[in-house]
Structure 1
Amino acid sequence: MDDKASVSISGNNAAIHLPAGLTAQVKVKTNAKSTQKVALMDRSGEVDLVFSGTGEGNTVIGEKIITPGERFLLDAVFEYAGTDGVLKPSKLNSGGPFEVGSLNLLVVVAENGDDTDYNDTILEFSWYTR
């Protein structure tokens, strides 16, 4: 696998590759009244981070600085609570990586089906390069 950031989507799972040796910020935002959940797991299957919450207007429900080792592969699973409170799979889309000067962004967005704006959950990875 090359050392460029990438994301591939299958159902409500996003497989994310980040380059080695960087320090990245992970931020999760929500634009939904229903509970949104993102679980980030390394390839061993252990849950590393879980973010959950509600809110409108890009409410931040979690953020963390991560420093990957030689290779960094994550699986991100997106779910939302339906009206019955049961977690259901979200629909996903992604963008990036985008380079703006030395800032790099990789984004995965989720839709819970109440509209089609794909902003119910927003998972952002950002990092700087020299």
Structure 2
Amino acid sequence: MSDAYVFVKGNAAEISLPDGATVNVKVKTNSSSPQTVKLTSKDGEVDQVFTGSGERNAVAGQTTITGQRQIFATFEYSAADGQASPGKLNSGGPYEIGTYNLMVIVGENGDDADYNDAILEFSWHTPKK
């Protein structure tokens, strides 16, 4: 198991990734309200903003991060009046399935409590031992 973890507080998450890993990042939505997920790193190397809306795991964006150890994410959604509001977060993982690893952070905007309005996925492979 890698030393990856997620710590969530409010609408923010601290994400630790394995040293030197190439990590696939995908943001999906399941809400008609626009969702925004911002990713930043301490050194400024990662500075991504994903915004989207839609149902059925609509992809709001994806990228690859290589070699980053620590990433920070914030989740917001736009209410009917257009104001940005903080989402509520939950997380899971990392899950190790053979050489595949998955870590997920999910956001809820308060309209249905299903924690799938914004989904941030990190996935990577570890070498076989």
- The answer for the alignment partner of 1:35 in structure 2 is 34
Instruction: Number of aligned residue pairs: give it.
Output: 126
- The answer for the alignment partner of 1:6 in structure 2 is 5
Q: Distance in 1 between matches of 2:5 and 2:16?
A: 5
How far has the Cα of 1:46 moved from its partner? 7.5
1:39–1:47 CA contact under 8 A, matched in 2: no
1:90 matched to 2:95? The reply is no
* TM-score after normalising by structure 1: 0.93
Q: Distance in 2 between matches of 1:46 and 1:101?
A: 30
1:120 matched to 2:122? The reply is no
Computed over aligned residues only, the root mean square deviation of the Cα atoms, in angstroms, reads 1.3
Runs in 1 of length 4+ with deviation above 3 angstroms? 44-47
Point out where structure 2 has 5 or more consecutive residues left out of the alignment.
none
Paired residue type of 1:124: E
How far has the Cα of 1:125 moved from its partner? 0.1
Q: Distance in 2 between matches of 1:45 and 1:67?
A: 13
Q: Per the alignment, do residues 112 and 46 of structure 1 end up closer, same or farther by CA in structure 2, a change over 3 Å counting?
A: farther
How far has the Cα of 1:75 moved from its partner? 0.8
- The answer for the alignment partner of 2:98 in structure 1 is 101
- The answer for the alignment partner of 1:55 in structure 2 is 54
Point out where structure 1 has 5 or more consecutive residues left out of the alignment.
none
